[in-house]
């Protein structure tokens, strides 16, 4: 049993032979799939071998190679792992990180993270790529808005994506440098829009074929093919949650409370978990403002009492609970491959 600390240049390992009590430490360099596969051959023929690793960038190929070698992989949640380290008495090193993972695994105190199957990991990669493209395109549009405002023409940036907006920008009186900046930004917007359309088509096709994604769309108003795939990929098999409160906590939509040993004041979103899930739930919650929504009355009541932003967050929490129950009730079908 041991621990593996993951870095781009090397993998630091620390494991103990439970029969002899011998502790072995070292590094695997370079850190790639082929080198790790060769190193794992030393455990061939052993019945029970387990390694713990933190759920940071690079954990996927390490966990896949461990499973390929017949070794049990335990992915530890990074924040909980750091908390269980306790107060640091000396500088933290790769070697001490691997040792901590080994000790937590031996003591049965590893804060386990769910290891999704390959189709879920592939869906996560697609939806996160789409969100990155969306954020980059938004940044270029904001640059256009700022350039126009700087020259006193803020009304021209309305509808910069539409044909009418492009015509107004083409005849606007802009300085040569600003004209260059706007033209470059719009070309980047067009390029990103093309890539986004292609990626979104792949995601939507998955959302129409995967059983859990179809169930989410059928059961919850505002959840479409794109947001259904995001919710399914980020929540996964919700049977691992004890209750819907855990699902809300997993999305980072729970509200912090005051703690005497904490540094953060009460009343803020915890923001734990991946932001993609919060984004999808928030986007779906926006549809609650429509009169045709079954939650329209509730949304309007909360909006009148607390404001529109808090009403959207309240609806996002409701959707997180409902999606948890929908996925949980699918049992083994939740991870079924797309038809």
Of 107, 139, 173, the position where a domain reaches its end is: 107
| Predicted local distance difference test score (pLDDT) of residue 260 | 52
Residue-wise pLDDT for 151-178, tens only, equals 877 666 556 677 877 888 888 788 899 8
Q: Is pLDDT above 90 for 37?
A: yes
Q: What is the pLDDT of residue 264?
A: 54
Looking at residues 193-216, what average pLDDT do you find? 95
Query: Are residue 225 and residue 327 in the same domain, yes or no?
Result: yes
Per-residue pLDDT at 60: 94
- HSE-CB of 240 using CA atoms within 13 angstroms: 10
Mean confidence (pLDDT) of the chain: 90
Is 76 found in the same domain as 30?
A: yes
User: What's the confidence (pLDDT) of residue 257?
Assistant: 63
Residues 6+ apart with CB under 8 A from 127: 203, 226, 229, 230, 233, 276
Range of the domain at 164: 120-208
The last residue of a domain, from among 52, 79, 107? 107
Does residue 146 belong to any structural domain of this protein?
A: yes
Q: Pick from 61, 80, 107: which residue ends a domain?
A: 107
Mean pLDDT across 14-33: 93
Q: Classify residue 113: in a domain, yes or no.
A: no
Q: What is the mean pLDDT of residues 101-105?
A: 95
Q: Tell me the pLDDT band of 259, cut-offs 50, 70 and 90.
A: low
260-312: per-residue pLDDT in tens?
Answer: 555 555 567 777 778 999 999 999 999 998 999 999 999 999 999 999 999 99
Shared domain check, 191 and 254: no
pLDDT band of residue 316 (cuts 50, 70, 90) is: very high
- Edge-to-edge order in the sheet of strand 11-16: 23-28, 11-16, 2-6, 50-54, 72-76
Statement to judge: residues 136 and 102 lie in one domain: no
The pLDDT of residue 333 is above 70: yes
Task: Name the pLDDT band for 205 (thresholds 50, 70, 90).
Answer: very high
Residue 115 lies in a domain: no
Q: Residue 119: its pLDDT value, please?
A: 92
pLDDT class of 14 with cuts at 50, 70, 90: very high
Co-location of 225 and 320 in the same domain: yes
Q: Give the strand pairing for 2-6 and 11-16.
A: antiparallel
pLDDT of residue 155: 63
Predicted confidence band of residue 146 (pLDDT cuts 50, 70, 90):
confident
One domain for residues 218 and 326: yes
Co-location of 62 and 82 in the same domain:
yes
- Is 92 contained in some domain? yes
Mean pLDDT throughout 16-37? 93
Same-domain check for residues 169 and 181: yes
Confidence check: pLDDT of 209 > 80 = yes
> pLDDT category, 217, cuts 50, 70, 90?
very high
Q: Give the total number of structural domains in the chain.
A: 3
Q: What is the pLDDT of residue 62?
A: 96
pLDDT value of position 267: 62
Tell me: do 159 and 271 sit in the same domain.
Answer: no
92 and 186 part of one domain? no
Whether 183 is covered by a domain: the verdict is yes
> Is residue 203 predicted with pLDDT exceeding 70?
yes
Compute the CA torsion angle 223, 229, 230, 235 (nearest 10 deg): 100
Q: Are strands 11-16 and 23-28 parallel, antiparallel or unpaired?
A: antiparallel
Place of tokens 């940071």: 56
Cα–Cα dist 227/131, whole Å: 11
Band of pLDDT at residue 90, cut at 50, 70 and 90: confident
CA distance 25 to 173: 67
Residues 198 and 265 in one domain: no
Reduced to 3 states (helix: H, G, I; strand: E, B; else coil), residue 158 is coil
DSSP type of residue 264: S
Residue at 142 is within a domain: yes
Whether residue 232 is found in the same domain as residue 192: no
- pLDDT at residue 154, as a whole number: 63
CATH number at residue 57: 3.30.420.140
Does residue 7 belong to any structural domain of this protein? Answer: yes
pTM here is 0.86
* pLDDT number for residue 148: 84
Query: For position 132, what pLDDT does the model report?
Result: 96
- Give the pLDDT score at 299: 94
| 282 within a domain of the structure (yes/no) | yes
Does the pLDDT of residue 254 top 80, yes or no?
yes
């Amino acid at each position: 049993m041991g621990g593996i600390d993951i870095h781009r240049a090397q993998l630091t390992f620390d494991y103990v032979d439970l029969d002899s009590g011998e502790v072995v430490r070292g590094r695997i360099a370079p850190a790639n799939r082929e080198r790790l596969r060769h190193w794992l051959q030393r455990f061939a023929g052993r019945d029970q071998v387990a390694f713990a690793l933190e759920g940071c960038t690079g954990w996927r190929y390490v966990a896949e190679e461990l499973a390929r070698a017949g070794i049990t992989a335990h992915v530890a949640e990074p924040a909980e792992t750091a908390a269980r380290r306790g107060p640091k008495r000396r500088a933290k090193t790769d070697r001490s990180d691997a040792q901590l993972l080994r000790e937590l695994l031996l003591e049965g105190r590893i804060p386990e993270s769910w290891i999704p199957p390959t189709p879920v990991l592939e869906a996560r990669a697609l939806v996160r790529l789409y969100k990155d493209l969306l954020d980059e395109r938004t940044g270029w549009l904001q640059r256009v808005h700022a350039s126009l405002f700087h020259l006193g023409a803020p009304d021209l940036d309305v509808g910069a994506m539409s044909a009418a907006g492009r015509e107004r920008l083409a005849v606007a009186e802009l300085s040569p440098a600003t004209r260059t900046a706007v033209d470059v930004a719009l070309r980047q917007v067009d390029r990103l829009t093309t890539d986004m359309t292609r990626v979104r088509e792949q995601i939507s096709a998955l959302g129409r074929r995967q059983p859990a994604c179809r169930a989410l769309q059928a059961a919850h108003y505002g959840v479409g093919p794109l947001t259904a795939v995001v919710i399914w990929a980020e929540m996964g098999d919700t049977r691992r949650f004890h209750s819907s409160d855990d699902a809300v906590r997993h999305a980072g939509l729970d509200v912090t409370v005051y703690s005497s040993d904490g540094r953060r004041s009460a009343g803020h979103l915890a923001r734990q978990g991946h932001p993609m899930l919060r984004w999808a739930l928030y986007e779906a919650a926006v549809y609650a403002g429509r009169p045709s929504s079954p939650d329209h009355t509730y949304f309007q009541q909360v909006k009148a009492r607390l404001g529109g932003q808090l009403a959207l967050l309240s609806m996002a929490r409701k959707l997180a609970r409902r999606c948890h129950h929908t996925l949980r009730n699918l049992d083994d079908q939740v991870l079924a491959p797309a038809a």
